[in-house]
Structure 1
Amino acid sequence: MSSAHELTQEQSDRYWQDGFLFPLSVFSEDEAAEFRAELEQVEKDWLAADLPLPLNTYKRVNAHLVIPLAARIAQDKRILDTVEGVLGPDIMIWSAEFFIKEPQTKQTVGMHQDLTYWGMGETPDQVTAWIALSPATVQSGCMDFVRGSHKNPILPHTDTYSETNLLSRGQEVAVDVSEDDKTHIELKPGQMSLHHGLTIHGSGPNASNDRRIGLAIRYLSPGAQQLVADRDYAMLARGSDAHSNFVPVQAPDALFSPEALALYEQVRLDQSKALAEGADSAVPLYTKM
């Protein structure tokens, strides 16, 4: 039985032509508001807790391993129905990350290609779904995509380590991107975009009076393969994994349980070989501080 969230052939063709697709409505604004309220309650309850790592690290890296909300959204049938139009029936969750820009702040995301730092080469077996939990507008610092840029190989990048860049290394693609080449990805709460891991993208500062909150979920099909790290991990969300290229992990039963925290640290340790490869100094999100 078909789903209202399945991509049409026209939408699928547009994704592969442009390297991105938006806006796609997956949740109602009320649902998005409930997700946001749950996340902000986690922030309130756990900010001062005695966790092994800062709370922001758990929100920004592999949140689906320790925060049930992230895993629940990533496993939602409506998102998976859409993602299936890109990856096919077998879908794994590689990571989920909350990207939050506080109101009236200067934090940005430099223009970059995701696959530069994943250790998976230029594989087509991936897609990122970015779900807005608050309004993503030009004023609040929505994402900007460069149409057709996924047809490039992995381009040279520079690690800026800028304090205002939300990326782990402040990474930016080492080519000039004209403002005229950017498509502003404005989304209402509950809407999402899809983008390819080679698509050049970034975002500006949040000049609005509200937080800009998004959840980026990195989906893989089982044909993807980690080429740099010795081991990598993924959560099967739909279908089956006939390749066994990734160690299977399960969604957490509770917030920051001892078992989930132990798994998180093991995954972080193993993935750091790929995610921090080539860095000329420590990458705090992926290495012990």
Structure 2
Amino acid sequence: MKEAFERDGFVCPINVMSAEDAAGYRRQLEEAEARHGADKSFRKILRRYPNLALPFVDEITRRPEITDVIAEILGPDLLVLDAPFFIKDANTKSFVSWHQDLHYWGLETEEEVTAWVALSPATKESGCMRFVAGSQDRQVDHSDTFAEDNLLTRGQEVAVKVDERDATEAELMPGQMSIHHGRVFHASHPNRTDDRRIGLAIRYIPAHARQTDGGNMAAMLVRGEDRYGNFRPCRPPAGLMTKQDLAHWSEIAGARNAVMLDGKQG
């Protein structure tokens, strides 16, 4: 696993839970959407630190079937920097442009692994993740497009030409995941099927990771121990969208947004 990850910058598919477990998590998500979807802040929560307000997301990030894989690469002490949902509704134009994650994250280290967990089928037709093998070995400039249908915060995309023939389609079934390095080129097409494409992108970093100067971000300890204190600690949610958890989320998400939206970060 580690050898393939270091060579290609990604590995897929990896079985991490049963289809029944994945369906159960999807059901909890859609029940929360039905209950809180009218609240404008809820959609923001799905895209930034949902593990602070939705207990089932926190549970997914701690599953040993997932963290065992990540620990093989990053070591036993793991923090979650964020865990956003990437949801493409049926027959919509939402897409993700070619980009490198770490370009905007305010981290000194390149030690990061994203686990992209499928809660619905992620196929070529539904807009699965796409990777360019080996592209994690270089850092390239990005431009911000703020394109309306781009799911990325700034519509960021690499400022180089990507040969589409080099792309690997990372198809996943519910309960499977891919893992990828924060520098590997990745993107995805729109969902042209009649079902939603639902993925949870869990951003794992080792406890010894550091922020760039002036960083004030938080992270959740999910495995092992944090002997460094380089990030403000998060606390697990007490319940579903509780008042105290929403206040905690607002504070934590605000500091992360300041990094993600700061054009000087790179």
Please give the TM-score of this superposition, normalised by the length of structure 2: 0.96
Q: Tell me, what secondary structure is at the counterpart of 1:54?
A: helix
Q: How far apart in 2 are the matches of 1:88 and 1:269?
A: 29
1:128-150 deviation per Cα after TM superposition (whole angstroms, max 9, x unaligned) = 00000000000000010010011
Report sequence identity in percent. 44
**Which of the numbers 100, 105, 114 marks the counterpart of 2:92?**
105
1:140 — aligned with what? Answer: 126
Bigger relative contact order, structure 1 or 2 (CA pairs below 8 A, ≥6 apart): 2
Unaligned stretches of 5+ residues in structure 2:
none
Q: CA RMSD in A?
A: 1.2
Residues 1:41 and 2:27 aligned together: no
Query: Whole-Å Cα distance in 1 between the matches of residues 161 and 149 of structure 2?
Result: 19
- Local SS of the residue matching 2:83: strand
Distance 1:239 1:124 in 2: 20
TM-score by length of 1: 0.89
1:78 matched residue in structure 2 = 65
Q: Give the number of equivalent residue pairs.
A: 264
Secondary structure of the residue aligned to 1:237 is strand
CA distance in 2, matches of 1:191, 1:273: 32
Q: Which residue of 1 aligns with 2:82?
A: 95
Shift of 1:269: 2.1
C-alpha separation between the residues in 1 aligned to 2:53 and 2:31? 15
Indicate yes or no: 2:225 matched with 1:235. Answer: no
Tell whether the 8 Å contact from 2:45 to 2:53 is kept in structure 1 after alignment: yes
Instruction: Provide Cα deviations, 1:88-108, integer angstroms capped at 9, x if missing partner.
Output: 111111111111001111110
Stretches of 4+ aligned residues off by more than 6 angstroms: none
Distance in 2 of aligned mates of 1:229 and 1:214: 31
Superposed counterparts of 1:1-289, under 5 Å: 11-49=1-39, 53-121=40-108, 123-153=109-139, 155-278=140-263
CA drift at 1:124: 2.9
> 1:229–1:102: structure 2 CA closer, same or farther, 3 Å change rule?
farther
* Secondary structure class of the residue paired with 2:149: coil
